[in-house]
Amino acid sequence: MHSLSARLLVLTAFFVMLAEVLIFVPSVARFRADWLGARIEAASLAMRALDAAPDRAVGDMLKSDLLMQVGVHAVLVNRGGARLVLSGVAPPPVDASFDLAGQGPWALIGDAIVTLFAPGNRVIRVLAPAPGDATTGIELVLDEAPLRADMVAFGSRILTLSIVISLVTATLVYLSLHWLLVRPLRRLTGSMTAFSENPEDVRRIVVPSGRRDEIGLAERQLAAMQRGLRAALAQREHLAALGTAVAKVNHDLRGILSSALLVSDRLESSDDREVRHLAPTLISAIERAAALCGRTLDYVGRDQPETRMARFALGPLVHELQAGFPAGTIDNRVIDGFAIVADRDQIYRVLRNLAGNAVEAGAARVSVIASMQPDGTAIDIADDGPGLPPRAREKLFLPFEGSARAGGTGLGLAIAREIARAHGGDLVLLQSDAAGTVFRLRLPAGPVSRAAAPAP
């Protein structure tokens, strides 16, 4: 019962049986009405035979034969106020009466149910108009047991036929659905399972069958997704290999630059005046190159530690930021007591990267402003620099491409945005023009799951 095919078979048989049950009850009710109608017609014929007899006088044997042919104890005919009775010995007392004149479907169904579940062999009286003569009424007194027996036999035949129809229909529907739906779905799931085991194998990508229905669309979409995923995995492997190579090159290059820096320090004490004059420039260039290698190495090979969420005051953190810049550079506009829920060290790194970028771009003052928003906390980092050039805005958060200054790597903004998104928020550019640049760090209103984030 765990497979889709078995469930389809069972559900189809169940619903067909349900439909047959809805047909079964009215059919049995109609059978009962027809059975009693046949007795009314037979009684009408018997009474005509009685009318044809001289003085309507017949012997007891003929009466008995007529009543036996009709299958009743007595027949009463009401015609123009006159009553004509055909009965044998005194008929038994009546247990229930039914009037067939003008009965609706619900009344017929109710009477049929009563007949099926009535106890014992009741004697019933049935009233109905004579066939072809609505002015003449006929009453029958008969046993209910033969009627119930015929109804049960008819119901058994209907039930057997319903079971056969439901099984045949369920089988046909099952085979149709299995061919049109289940088999293609098994093929899709098999392809997904095989692809997940070895995504690099191009032979495991599903081949669309060319169908134009929803299954065909799913096959084409799955094939496109598998090809895209395979390309992404291949690109990821290439990038991983490239990152490993860059890390090794940077590691060796940093060693070489460190050695060069030690040698360059000795140039400052050289007897040659021109060498002493050029030494600071050379040392500065080597330091910048070493710093670039360090930042690249950190970005390529950094770990992804768990974010440590805690509630802390933002103002003191900005005061710590002020200590890393010349006096008056960082303007702390965070109100006293303003607190956020985040990783303190990583938020410090975000602010440090943004403020450092602003100062390097030519800003003399960087303001930090915090406010509560309907969706969480907003921390604005605004500077009075010259703004970002259009080319830098297009690739703002892309590492090695989004730098706004010559020689920059763009890693500061990329890492800052990763930290923000690891907190469940984001880092966006609000404004950048001649009056300055404003970045907004958005943080969610409450604690978020402990997602991975870049190392501080």
Dist. CA 258–CA 87, nearest whole Å: 130
Instruction: Please provide the DSSP assignment of 271-319 as one string.
Output: S-HHHHHHHHHHHHHHHHHHHHHHHHHHHHH---PBP--EEEEHHHHHH
Owner of token pair 């390309």: 231
Question: How many CB atoms are located within 10 Å of the residue 271 CB?
Answer: 6
Average pLDDT over residues 246-270: 68
DSSP state of 56: G
The confidence score (pLDDT) of residue 316 equals 92
Residue 156, class by beta-carbon neighbours within 10 Å (0-12 exposed, 13-18 middle, 19+ buried)?
A: exposed
Query: How far are the Cα atoms of 12, 137, 237, 259 from residue 242, in angstroms, in the given order?
Result: 57, 103, 8, 26
The confidence score (pLDDT) of residue 456 equals 37
Q: Which residue has the higher pLDDT, 261 or 335?
A: 335
Q: Which residue has the higher pLDDT, 202 or 120?
A: 120
The confidence score (pLDDT) of residue 298 equals 58
Show Cβ contacts of residue 186 under 8 Å, excluding neighbours closer than 6 positions.
Answer: none
Q: Which of 450, 310, 444 is nearest to 374 (CA)?
A: 444
Please answer whether residues 436 and 387 qualify as being in contact, where contact means their C-beta atoms are separated by less than 8 angstroms: yes
Q: Is the pLDDT of residue 234 over 70?
A: yes
The confidence score (pLDDT) of residue 150 equals 92
Q: Which residue has the higher pLDDT, 167 or 36?
A: 36
Q: Is the pLDDT of residue 365 over 90?
A: yes
Average pLDDT over residues 391-397: 74
Q: Is the pLDDT of residue 453 over 90?
A: no
The confidence score (pLDDT) of residue 88 equals 66
Q: Please provide residue 214's backbone torsions phi and psi, each rounded to the nearest 5 degrees.
A: -65, -35
- Among the residue ranges 68-77, 147-156, 289-298, the one predicted with the least confidence is 289-298
Please answer whether residues 397 and 447 qualify as being in contact, where contact means their C-beta atoms are separated by less than 8 angstroms: no
Q: Is the pLDDT of residue 292 over 70?
A: no
Which band of pLDDT confidence, cut at 50, 70 and 90, is reported for residue 448?
Answer: very low
The structure's pTM equals 0.44
> What does the mean pLDDT of the chain come to?
78
Please answer whether residues 398 and 411 qualify as being in contact, where contact means their C-beta atoms are separated by less than 8 angstroms: no
The confidence score (pLDDT) of residue 295 equals 60
pLDDT per position as a tens digit, 25-50: 888 889 999 999 888 888 888 777 66
Q: Which residue has the higher pLDDT, 362 or 79?
A: 362
Sheet with 436-444, strands from edge to edge, namely 330-332, 366-373, 376-383, 436-444, 426-433
Task: Determine the distance from the C-alpha atom of residue 128 to the mean position of all C-alpha atoms in its chain, rounded to a whole number.
Answer: 60
The confidence score (pLDDT) of residue 335 equals 92
Dist. CA 306–CA 454, nearest whole Å: 9
Q: Which two structure tokens, joined as six digits, stand for 359?
A: 């100062």
Q: Which residue has the higher pLDDT, 141 or 182?
A: 141
Question: How many CB atoms are located within 10 Å of the residue 29 CB?
Answer: 23
Question: What is the greatest pairwise CA distance in the chain?
Answer: 164
Q: Which residue has the higher pLDDT, 243 or 123?
A: 123
Query: How far are the Cα atoms of 8, 9, 171 from residue 5, in angstroms, in the given order?
Result: 5, 6, 11
Instruction: Please provide the DSSP assignment of 216-241 as one string.
Output: HHHHHHHHHHHHHHHHHHHHHHHHHH
pLDDT per position as a tens digit, 45-77: 877 766 665 555 555 566 677 777 788 888 888
Range of 99-108, 282-291, 338-347 with top mean pLDDT:
338-347
Which band of pLDDT confidence, cut at 50, 70 and 90, is reported for residue 441?
Answer: very high
